[in-house]
Structure formats: C-alpha cells, structure tokens
C-alpha cells in the first residue's frame, strides 16, 4: 500500500494524478471485506444472507454494531416495530441504567438513519439493507434522559 501512495505522489500532472488516485480508491474498495466477518469476503456473506432469506422468508438478518451487547447477529421477524426490537435489545444489554435511553440507527450506505418507533422492521430492511452483503446493520447509541 505504501508503494501505491508513493506512486500517487510522484507526478505533477493533475489529471494524471487524479486518475491514479481514483484507481487507488477502486483498488482499496475492492479489497475491503464485510463488517460482519473480516475473514469472509463480501460474496460469501451475500450467499449466507440469501440462504437465510430463502430459509426464513418472514425474517430479516440484522447485525448490531455496538460494544454494549454481546450477541451481534439477529434474525428478526419482519412484522415487529422498531420499539419492539428496541425492547428486545434493551433486555440483552447488561450494563445499562434504566435512566438511559437507547437509540437504534439503521445504516444505509454508511449513513445512520433514525426511523420512527412504529415503523416495521421489514420495511426498514427493504429500504436500508446493505447492497454489498444483504444484511441490515444497526448501530446502538445511548443517551441520558434525566440530564
């Protein structure tokens, strides 16, 4: 990778350097793996998510991005609301005080999105699932509710 960076910096022609930079970014993106499992390439995760969806068509494969919870992978029914899923997650978080609120941010193209409490998980899955591997990524944050 250091060789690529040196290769990028040795040219004074702006258009040529821009082309090299774009080539470098495409190379890095192609080498990236999924958040779900660093050892598995994205294609294998896509196959795994398709198998899960074929076996359980009424459920959504969800991966939690947080250090607050031990279990990261969930297979959630499509017809539950965000509030119901939030209650399930809250029960599984060990070290959270009752005065803290938890927020579920659904990741769409790397951007966190906060949905309303009555939105069905199935609708969110259809809207926000990862195009790279077919999983829905959820980030959990907490906030003090009493100051």
Per-residue model confidence as pLDDT tens for the chain (147 residues): 444 444 445 555 555 566 666 666 565 555 444 444 544 556 777 888 889 889 999 999 999 998 888 899 999 999 999 999 999 999 898 778 888 889 999 999 889 999 999 999 999 999 999 888 889 999 999 888 875
pTM score of the predicted model: 0.69
> What pLDDT is attached to residue 140?
93
> What pLDDT is attached to residue 38?
44
Contact 93, 69 (CB under 8 A): yes
How many alpha carbons lie under 13 Å from residue 28 in its C-beta half-sphere?
10
> What pLDDT is attached to residue 103?
92
Task: Kindly compute the dihedral angle of the four CA atoms of residues 77, 122, 140, 72, in this order, to the nearest 10 degrees.
Answer: 50
CATH 3.10.20.90 assigned to domain 42-144? The reply is yes
Contact 89, 140 (CB under 8 A): yes
> What pLDDT is attached to residue 113?
92
Question: Which residue, among 61, 60, 66, 62, has the nearest Cα to 102 in the 3D structure?
Answer: 66
> What pLDDT is attached to residue 63?
93
> What pLDDT is attached to residue 33?
43
> What pLDDT is attached to residue 110?
86
Question: Which residue, among 49, 53, 25, has the nearest Cα to 36 in the 3D structure?
Answer: 49
Domain boundaries defined on the chain: 2-31, 42-144
């Amino acid at each position: 990778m250091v060789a690529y960076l040196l290769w990028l910096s040795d040219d004074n022609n702006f258009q040529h350097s821009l082309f090299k930079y774009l080539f470098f970014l495409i190379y890095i993106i192609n080498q990236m793996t999924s958040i779900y499992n660093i050892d598995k390439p994205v294609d294998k995760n896509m196959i795994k998510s398709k198998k899960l969806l074929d076996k359980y068509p009424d459920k959504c494969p969800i991966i939690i991005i947080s250090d607050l919870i031990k279990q990261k992978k969930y297979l959630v029914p499509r017809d539950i609301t965000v509030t119901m899923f939030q209650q399930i997650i809250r029960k599984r978080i060990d070290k959270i005080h009752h005065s803290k609120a938890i927020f579920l941010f659904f990741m769409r193209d790397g951007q966190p999105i906060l949905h309303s409490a009555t939105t069905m998980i199935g609708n969110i899955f259809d809207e926000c699932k990862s195009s790279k591997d077919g999983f829905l990524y959820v980030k959990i944050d907490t906030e003090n509710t009493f100051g």
